[in-house]
């Protein structure tokens, strides 16, 4: 078990017992701001192409990553952009939308813009000098598998950087970077399950 960060497909978005109530309220909130979120792409269960789904497990300690976020010049904003949401959407807006619908881990659902999360994650990626060998698509725990493989030592030898000094922080920086990229590339929400 555990907590996973996953892409949301059209079936879950429309399902009244999964994310349907969030989708309805979010549509109203975005509409009031003159914004809109399209329907997520259909499930890709029968299409064996990498990059269509996103699934990564939050399995490493997060303490050093949170400390890294707080140590940035915009520490509170960085923490909020990367750690302060339940639902990430590919719509550009400032701040957060808090919906009175329970999320997987809270009594409300806090929604953030993938654009803002991507910008914060990109700044951390530069600061940590994340290596180019990181998996680009994370459709089946690929990122976690990479961090647990010998490829990490090879990448550290070829591309030394701050990232190799704290693999927990590097993992979460990469996780949120890839999640925001996926949300924008596939035009789908991301949520925790």
Give the burial class of 47: count Cβ atoms within 10 A of its Cβ; 0-12 exposed, 13-18 middle, 19 or more buried: exposed
Alpha-helical segments (H) within 33-161: 63-70, 75-83, 114-128, 142-147, 151-158
Report the run of H or E that residue 112 belongs to, with start and end.
strand 109-113
Give the pLDDT of residue 143: 96
pLDDT at 45: 55
Query: Across the strands, what pairs with 56?
Result: 5
- Asked if residue 97 lies in contact with residue 89, where contact means CB atoms within 8 angstroms, the answer is no
Residue 137: pLDDT band by 50, 70, 90 thresholds? confident
Chain center to CA of 66: 15
Element (H, E) at 98: strand 97-99
The per-residue pLDDT for 84 is 96
CB distance 134 to 146 below 8 Å: yes
Phi and psi at residue 109, to the nearest 5° = -120, 115
Would the pLDDT of 1 be above 80?
Answer: no
Evaluate whether 121 touches 173 at the Cβ level (below 8 Å).
Answer: yes
Express each pLDDT in 37-73 by its tens digit: 988 888 765 455 566 899 999 999 999 999 999 999 9
Check residues 18 and 181 and name the one with the higher pLDDT.
181
pTM as predicted = 0.94
Dihedral sign from CA coordinates of 187, 72, 61, 102 = negative
């Amino acid at each position: 078990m555990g907590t996973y960060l996953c892409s949301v497909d059209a079936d879950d978005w429309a399902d009244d017992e999964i994310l349907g109530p969030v989708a309805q309220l979010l549509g109203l909130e975005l509409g009031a701001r003159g914004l809109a979120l399209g329907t997520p792409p259909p499930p890709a269960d029968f299409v064996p192409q990498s990059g269509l789904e996103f699934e990564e497990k939050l399995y490493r300690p997060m303490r050093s990553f949170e400390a890294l976020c707080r140590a940035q010049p915009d520490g509170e904003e960085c923490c909020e952009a990367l750690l302060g949401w339940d639902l990430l959407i590919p719509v550009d807006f400032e701040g957060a939308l808090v919906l009175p619908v329970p999320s997987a881990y809270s009594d409300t659902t806090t929604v953030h813009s993938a654009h803002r999360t991507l910008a914060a994650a990109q700044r951390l990626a530069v600061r940590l000098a994340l290596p180019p060998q990181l998996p680009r698509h994370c459709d089946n725990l690929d990122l976690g598998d990479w961090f647990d493989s010998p490829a990490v030592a090879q990448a550290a030898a070829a591309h030394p950087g701050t990232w190799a000094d704290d693999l927990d922080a590097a993992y979460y920086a990469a996780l949120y970077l890839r999640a925001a990229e996926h949300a924008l590339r596939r035009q789908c929400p991301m949520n925790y399950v």
